[in-house]
Structures are given as structure tokens and as C-alpha cells.
Amino acid sequence: MTIKVGIDGYGQRGNVFKQRLTLTENLKNLYDLVGVYDSNPNVRDEISRDDSSFTVFKSHKEMFENVDLVINCTSTEAHYKTTSSALKVGKDVLLEKPSTLHWKQDLKLKKLSEDGGNLVAVGYVEPFNPAILYMVKNIDPKSINLVLIMRYGPMPAHRKGDSRTIPIFHHMI
């Protein structure tokens, strides 16, 4: 049975998830992207004009009524509020990294998840990176003097103005 998905927040990351879910063959068999929601009405109008292949929900409530899983791609500041709303109505959530900006909010989400029997996964991709998996398997940590991880390219447009700490750390820790 396919999992009915809604994407909350249709910025850069929301768009990446939409592409993966609709274009990747083995994911199309696993998921059914029902629709997206964005708090910005202009973005909602734009999606409605450009893509009629899925629903553009008018509210969180409408999205929650129609999906099993919420992929939360809202801003980090909004993560706690939007994820807790989804958990309170019994939805599973994939929460984009970093989960929240305050660890006590993570614990509250964990409690909500346990109380309601819903899953909250956090979208850290590096544990799935084949190069990282290869290194973990093959390198003796004692033989390494220094590990330097850096972003070679320019900062993506949606990250301009951010502190360097958040975008780099939440990918690499």
C-alpha cells in the first residue's frame, strides 16, 4: 500500500522532495504525493498555476485530513509548531534538518510522538552517503590526524545571509 504524502513548505527543499517523489521510479511505488501546503498564499497561487499534478492545500488542517505522512520543509523556526500540529492529529512526520533550534523542543516532539504512536524521522542524508559509509567501514579512526569537511561551492541562494554554523553543522555532525 502506498503512503499518502503531503509536503509542508514549498521552498527549495520542498521542491527537491517533490521531484524525488514524482520522478524516481522505486519511490513512486512507495509514496503517493497527494499535495503540498505553503503558508505563503503567493507561493500557493504560483504552484496552482504551474503544476496541476497534485493538490495545493489551503490549510494545514486540509492537508492533515488527506495524508498519512507530512514532510516538513518549513523554516527551522517553524519546525516545532508545524511538527507538533501534525503529531497531535496522528500523522507521521519526516522533519527536515536541523529538527529544531532548541533541544528541549526535540524532547517535546519525542514525547508527542511516543504518546500518539507516530514516527518522527529527521532528514539527515549523510548517514546514507555511500562515501561516508565507505569511510566508516574501511578507515581506522586512530590513523586519522585531522578530518576537514568543507563546502566547495558557493552558498546556495536560499542560504545567503544565514550563519555558516547552521548549514554546515547540521549536515555534518
Partner 1 sequence: MNFWLKKEPQLIYATEDEQHGFVRLKYDSLDAYLHAERISGSGFRHRTAIVYGTQNYWELDLASQKVIIGGPSETGTIDPNIYSLLSWKHQMKLSENIETPITSIEKKEPLEQLLVTLGESIQKRKILQPLRSISESTVTTKIIEEACRMTEKNKSKKYQS
> Which residues are at the interface with partner 1 (CB under 8 A)?
3, 12, 15-16, 19-21, 24, 26-27, 30-31, 68-69, 92, 94-95, 97-103, 106-107, 109-110, 113, 117, 119-132, 134-135, 138-140, 143-154, 156-157, 163, 165-166, 169-170, 173
- Least distance CB 58 / partner 1 (angstroms): 26
- Least distance CB 71 / partner 1 (angstroms): 9
Answer yes or no: are the C-beta atoms of 98 and 162 closer than 8 Å: no
**Which set of grid coordinates corresponds to residue 153?**
561551492
- Least distance CB 27 / partner 1 (angstroms): 6
CA distances from 50 to 1, 88, 122, 132 (A): 29, 32, 29, 37
**Which set of grid coordinates corresponds to residue 142?**
586512530
Cis peptide leading into residue 141 (ω within 30°): no
In three-state secondary structure terms, 71 is strand
Kindly tell me which of 41 and 117 has the beta carbon lying closer to partner 1: 117
Kindly tell me which of 52 and 138 has the beta carbon lying closer to partner 1: 138
**Cα-only R_g, the chain:** 18
Q: Which residues pair with 95 in a beta bridge?
A: 72, 122
Kindly tell me which of 43 and 132 has the beta carbon lying closer to partner 1: 132
Kindly tell me which of 65 and 114 has the beta carbon lying closer to partner 1: 114
- Least distance CB 32 / partner 1 (angstroms): 11
Answer yes or no: are the C-beta atoms of 18 and 50 closer than 8 Å: no
